[in-house]
Amino acid sequence: MSADPASLTLAGAARALKAGTLSPVELLEATIERVRRWDPALNAFVLLSEARARADAERAHRDIAAGKWRGPLHGVPYGLKDIIDTEGIRTTCHSRLLIDNVPARDAHVATLLRDAGGVLMGKLATHEFATGGPAFDLPFPPARNPWDPARFTGGSSSGSGAAVASGMLPLALGTDTGGSIRLPAAYCGVAGIKPTYGRVSRRGVAPLSFSLDHIGPLCWTVEDCALSMGVLAGFDVADPGSADLPVPDYAAALDFGVSGKTIGYVRAFSEGASDDMAAGIEAALAELSRLGARIVEVKLPAMSLFQAAFRAICSAEGFAVHAHDLRSRPHLYARVTRERLMVGAFVTGEDYVQGQRLRRELTAAVDGALRDVDLLASAAILTPAPRLEDVDTSPLRRAAPITVPFNITGHPALSLCCGYGQGGLPLALQLVGRPFDEARVLGAGHAYERATRWRERRPVLAASAAAAR
């Protein structure tokens, strides 16, 4: 047993809980202590739901003791990005507009985690309404990166990345419209998967862009993501984008490995990467090759086309969601959120339809590339985490993140740590699979993680927290 049970991975905690060498209540107490100690420096939580967590943990303790173990999430603490509805627990979208919003029902994913016996620790910081950027004119401060609290976590699932990287939580849910799971996973050095569009229900989650929004887990390891996906994946008739397809055993698929697989490296997507990031990606590909994968180079349509389609679709759909509030009470948004949403007013109906038209072609092109290879690979980010004050908060960034193409196409995409660069900040690889083939993506990521030692290094919180003060 670890000296600090709160630092266990999800898989490690699940083994100890099932074996009875750790109780959900002990794990909860250790987690609360960790959150109280570290969150004041990291701002990952906007709400600690301690009463609910105690009730969940005590119920899990009774059930497991009675031999009613529900699976690997039973008794395990988790957090939800604060755009995910929780019955009776405030859900603000990190915004003044919803500061008193207490949903009457759980989001579908919140119900799934509750039914799996998880222990809800609280609601996690996000960029306001999952868009905008880090802002200081909101009711809650922006989350900070555990590897260096002066630095950006990535977003918009900023609290999810910070909570997992710091070891406060083994599992946090995020949402991903243009990279909002994979970017904080990358900048914070954890694993995060955006499943295939349609794989995880979005019911009860505040929309940003209904045709681009995805939900998925952030965890310390790929194995933990696979265990979480086993609970989260599945058809939901109430989500019009949900896919009625069988869900594989993701945990069993972790043994797939990469031997004999072909991985297509999309070199053009890594253009402009910093030297340390480029070296980290090359080393990761070499490691995958050593594990038996065949690495080939693949060309996809130009990034500028993915970005143009993304801009038209995301801006138009986001504006539709927020138009009423942008007209009637714009002062309640943070400046960066308000301006980025207002950009949707500059997109015409023709732009939107042309964006959807191009999207079909781009999706077909990625499907075509994945007929010749098993997986695609690229960098997940171009540089390690920037300092918070250096993050672009202008109304429109010229270059969207390199995670965007797979929101446009809907393919499953994983970000995982592939080393540490300048200043000890995490580097990150993105692996992309065929539609609904999360299993192969997770299997490859797991094989890479097992072959490397990156998961043995955690942020040094004592030093980093002191630096933030």
Partner 1 sequence: MPDASDEDLRADYQASLRIAGIVVPADRDQAMFDAFKMVREMIGALHRPWRYDEEPAHIQRPVAPDGSGR
Q: Is 409 a binder of partner 1 (CB under 8 A)? A: yes
Which range touches partner 1 (CB under 8 A), out of 24-32, 73-81, 193-201, 377-385? 193-201
Crossing angle (nearest 10°) for helices 10-19 and 24-42:
160
Q: Looking at 254, 370, 379, 441, which residue binds partner 1 (CB under 8 A)?
A: 370
- Smallest gap from Cβ 366 to partner 1, in A, equals 8
Q: How many CB atoms lie within 10 A of CB 320?
A: 14
CA distances from 383 to 98, 234, 275 (A): 34, 34, 9
Select which of 7, 49, 156, 378 is catalytic: 156
Residue 386: which of 186, 251, 196 has the closest Cα?
A: 186
Max Cα distance, the chain (Å): 61
* Dist CA 398 CA 134 (whole Å): 17
Q: Looking at 207, 264, 318, 435, which residue binds partner 1 (CB under 8 A)?
A: 435
Q: Is 355 a binder of partner 1 (CB under 8 A)? A: yes
User: Is the peptide bond prior to 156 cis by the omega test (within 30 degrees of 0)?
Assistant: yes
Q: Is 357 a binder of partner 1 (CB under 8 A)? A: yes
156 annotated active-site: yes
Q: Is 368 a binder of partner 1 (CB under 8 A)? A: yes
Q: Is 196 a binder of partner 1 (CB under 8 A)? A: yes
Which range touches partner 1 (CB under 8 A), out of 95-103, 104-112, 130-138, 393-401? 393-401
Q: Looking at 241, 248, 267, 420, which residue binds partner 1 (CB under 8 A)?
A: 241
Select which of 160, 180, 228, 315 is catalytic: 180
- Smallest gap from Cβ 9 to partner 1, in A, equals 30
CA distances from 226 to 73, 409, 439 (A): 11, 22, 8
| Nearby residues of 338 by Cβ (< 8 Å), 6 or more positions away | 326, 330
Radius of gyration of the chain (CA): 20
Q: Looking at 283, 339, 386, 450, which residue binds partner 1 (CB under 8 A)?
A: 339
Contact status, residue 163 vs residue 224, Cβ threshold 8 Å: no
In this structure, the strands spanning 375-379 and 262-265 are parallel
Q: Is 396 a binder of partner 1 (CB under 8 A)? A: yes
Q: Which residues pair with 432 in a beta bridge?
A: 376, 413
194 annotated active-site: no
81 annotated active-site: yes
- Report 2-21 residues binding partner 1 (CB under 8 A): none
Q: Looking at 70, 351, 457, 468, which residue binds partner 1 (CB under 8 A)?
A: 351
* Dist CA 463 CA 469 (whole Å): 11
- Smallest gap from Cβ 363 to partner 1, in A, equals 5
Q: Looking at 141, 272, 395, 423, which residue binds partner 1 (CB under 8 A)?
A: 395
Q: Is 465 a binder of partner 1 (CB under 8 A)? A: no
- Write down how long the chain is: 469
Contact status, residue 400 vs residue 254, Cβ threshold 8 Å: no
Which range touches partner 1 (CB under 8 A), out of 31-39, 217-225, 269-277, 319-327? 319-327
- Smallest gap from Cβ 106 to partner 1, in A, equals 24
Contact status, residue 404 vs residue 263, Cβ threshold 8 Å: no
Q: Is 131 a binder of partner 1 (CB under 8 A)? A: no
Cα distance between the two ends of the chain: 32
* Dist CA 441 CA 83 (whole Å): 27
**Residues forming the site for partner 1 (CB under 8 A):** 196-199, 210-211, 240-241, 243, 304-305, 307-309, 311-312, 315, 319, 323, 326-327, 330, 335, 339, 342-347, 350-351, 353-360, 363-364, 366-368, 370-371, 394-396, 398, 409-411, 434-436
Supply the residues annotated as catalytic. Answer: 81, 156, 180
